[in-house]
Chains A and B, each alone.
Chain A
Amino acid sequence: MQIFNFFKQFRRLALLIILLATWEYASRFILDKTEATLLPPPSGVAQGGYELMKSGEIWKHLIDSLSREFVAFCYASVAIPLGIVMGCFKWVNEQVDPIIEILRPIPPIAWIPLSILWFGVGNVQNQFIIFLGIFFPILLNTIDAVKNVEPNLIRAARCLGAGSWGVITRVVLRAALPQIVTGVRIGLGVGWMALVAAELVGANSGLGFLINDARTVLRTDYILVGMLAIGVIGLCLDRLIRYTAQKLMPWSRALNA
């Protein structure tokens, strides 16, 4: 049974392994030396990854990027109370919604030039760009979640004696939580992408800086290692939130689907 499962897992990776093998072969035996520099084989990338880990350089960049993402997330989490207020009170929504609707379609990357002038090159500017990436998905999902709370749950709470404040804290917040978490997941994903873009142009450290810096010295293997790290971290962040949310909210159908 164990072996069977192993093979089943292995089968899922078959195409990936074939592609990697083809890449390795092409890079070693088909491409000439210049071209191979531009596309190093997987083994070369692994070698580069090992070097970066051994020297500790990649960890430094990784921690810098993650801490930027984290700080930006802390700021962006004001989107949760704001979204709840907007979802609960019509007049707040009326006032704030037009502003949000204008700002929302502007991609975080479009803020980079202005933000460099405002904050200079460095942490604050990066955090600002990530903040923009995280903020809107959380806000929109929170508003939507609050508006879509099952009306009978609110009625049930009210006829059990809950006042407006009780309904918000005991029902709306709880019922909206799964979708708020979905907003956080999407937000962190968008933020992570924005982070790399911000670091490409406005940073002295971080994974985005690492791959851009490697370009100047033609270390394509380092570039690929950096790109892989960005992908893996993004995936891990997403899984971590999903796993935690499922553990904390086993009752939510949306999260466990």
Chain B
Amino acid sequence: MPALKVEHVRKIYPSMHAKGQEVLAIDDISLEVQKNEFCSILGHSGCGKTTLLNLIAGFEAPTAGHIECADKVVSGPGSDRSMVFQDYALFPWLTVYDNIAFGLKIKGISTSEIQQIVTRFAALVGLSQFINHYPHQLSGGMRQRVSIARALVVDPTVLLMDEPFAALDAQNRAMMQAEMIRILREESKTVVLVTHSIEEAINLSDVIVVMTRRPGRVKEVIRVPEPRRMVEDTPAYLEVRRQIRELIAGEHDVSETI
């Protein structure tokens, strides 16, 4: 049983102007993500990859087709599909502790149990020292760690990540990718990551879904030969990268509408 199943999903946005044309954002996307698999969705900006993630999260409803998470049809947002946002989206009025505890409090878990879980996950993302800080007192990388911990504590069936490291500088991004690998080793999770960085996709994924330009379709699904153990600049790594680059470069900048 796949953790996540996307079946013939299509999303059409009504036009912005009264007489304008409708926009077909994604068209007939089908994919399956197995349990504990890390799946990256890779494509040009504007290819509808974030739209797809929003559909999986349940923030928007598909125009056609459907999405199943652990055999349940997605009909709205839920903690079985928690998300890590590019802009962190931490609650600025809550401390690191309370941000991480947010989903647990909603579930109505007892205070002592919450404390146990939060302490464990704060340690997992390396923030034990900063539990009483407010988000504005933290660096970008640290904020994203809080966001990851906050999404993990609710034990989602699928963890969704929307370009989570795009706002970080190059060094922090590389470090956070390494951290993500370490976290997933300790805490196995099914992950769907949206990114436009080929390297990020290769470093983190089992499976990479390359998308076409608008309307977004699945162009190719690539399995990474040695997931999360690829060493940069080795022939195998370069080969995968070349393959993906060619797929993406083949996508010319043409906007299609219906």
Chain A CB within 8 A of B258 CB: no
Residue of chain A at shortest CB distance from B90: A156
In this complex, the member of B87, B93, B135 whose beta carbon has the largest number of chain A beta carbons within 10 angstroms is B93
Interface residue ranges of A125-165 to B (CB < 8 Å): 150, 152-153, 155-162
Chain B CB within 8 A of A198 CB: no
Interface residue ranges of A156-189 to B (CB < 8 Å): 156-162, 166, 170-171, 174-175, 177
Inter-subunit contact A251/B83 (CB<8 Å): no
Residue of chain A at shortest CB distance from B76: A158
Inter-subunit contact A160/B134 (CB<8 Å): no
Q: Which of A155, A162, A175 has a CB less than 8 Å from the CB of B83?
A: A155
Chain A CB within 8 A of B252 CB: no
Inter-subunit contact A153/B106 (CB<8 Å): no
Inter-subunit contact A152/B85 (CB<8 Å): yes
Q: Which of B58, B77, B81, B91 has a CB less than 8 Å from the CB of A171?
A: B91
Chain B CB within 8 A of A67 CB: no
- List 10 A-B residue pairs with CB atoms under 8 Å apart, sorted by A's residue number: A158-B77, A160-B154, A161-B103, A161-B106, A174-B93, A177-B93, A249-B93, A251-B134, A252-B93, A253-B136
Count of A interface residues, CB-CB < 8 Å: 22
Residue of chain A at shortest CB distance from B86: A152
B90 proximity list for chain A (CB < 8 A): 156
Inter-subunit contact A155/B93 (CB<8 Å): no
State the CA gap A157–B106 with chains docked (Å).
9
Chain A CB within 8 A of B78 CB: yes
Chain B CB within 8 A of A56 CB: no
Looking at the assembled complex, report how far the CB atom of B150 sits from the nearest CB atom of chain A, in whole angstroms.
Answer: 7
State the CA gap A119–B82 with chains docked (Å).
57
- Given contacts A161-B78, A162-B106, A156 and B89 within 8 Å (CB-CB): yes
Inter-subunit contact B103/A160 (CB<8 Å): yes
Looking at the assembled complex, report how far the CB atom of A254 sits from the nearest CB atom of chain B, in whole angstroms.
Answer: 11
Q: Which of B77, B93, B134, B151 has a CB less than 8 Å from the CB of A175?
A: B93
- Given contacts A152-B85, A166-B106, A159 and B93 within 8 Å (CB-CB): no
Interface residue ranges of B137-165 to A (CB < 8 Å): 150-151, 154, 160
Count of B interface residues, CB-CB < 8 Å: 28
- Given contacts A150-B89, A174-B93, A249-B93, A159 and B106 within 8 Å (CB-CB): no
Inter-subunit contact A251/B92 (CB<8 Å): yes
Looking at the assembled complex, report how far the CB atom of B88 sits from the nearest CB atom of chain A, in whole angstroms.
Answer: 9
- Given contacts A156-B83, A251-B134, A161 and B92 within 8 Å (CB-CB): no
Looking at the assembled complex, report how far the CB atom of B93 sits from the nearest CB atom of chain A, in whole angstroms.
Answer: 5
- Given contacts A160-B82, A160-B150, A175-B93, A152 and B87 within 8 Å (CB-CB): yes
State the CA gap A251–B89 with chains docked (Å).
14
Interface residue ranges of B173-200 to A (CB < 8 Å): none
Q: Which of B58, B78, B91, B107 has a CB less than 8 Å from the CB of A174?
A: B91
State the CA gap A24–B132 with chains docked (Å).
56
Number of A-B contacts (CB under 8 A): 69
Residue of chain A at shortest CB distance from B154: A160
- Pick the 6 closest A-B CB pairs, nearest first: A160-B103, A161-B79, A158-B77, A152-B89, A156-B89, A251-B92
Looking at the assembled complex, report how far the CB atom of B174 sits from the nearest CB atom of chain A, in whole angstroms.
Answer: 25
State the CA gap A177–B94 with chains docked (Å).
13
With A155-B77, A156-B90 given, can you name 16 additional A-B contacts, CB distance below 8 Å?
A152-B87, A157-B91, A158-B76, A158-B77, A159-B59, A159-B81, A159-B160, A160-B103, A160-B150, A160-B151, A161-B103, A161-B106, A175-B92, A249-B93, A251-B134, A252-B93
Q: Which of A155, A158, A160, A252 has a CB less than 8 Å from the CB of B92?
A: A252
Residue of chain B at shortest CB distance from A161: B79
B218 proximity list for chain A (CB < 8 A): none
Looking at the assembled complex, report how far the CB atom of B213 sits from the nearest CB atom of chain A, in whole angstroms.
Answer: 25
Looking at the assembled complex, report how far the CB atom of B132 sits from the nearest CB atom of chain A, in whole angstroms.
Answer: 12
State the CA gap A240–B109 with chains docked (Å).
38
Interface residue ranges of A96-111 to B (CB < 8 Å): none
State the CA gap A174–B85 with chains docked (Å).
20
Chain A CB within 8 A of B130 CB: no
Inter-subunit contact B89/A155 (CB<8 Å): yes
A166 proximity list for chain B (CB < 8 A): 106
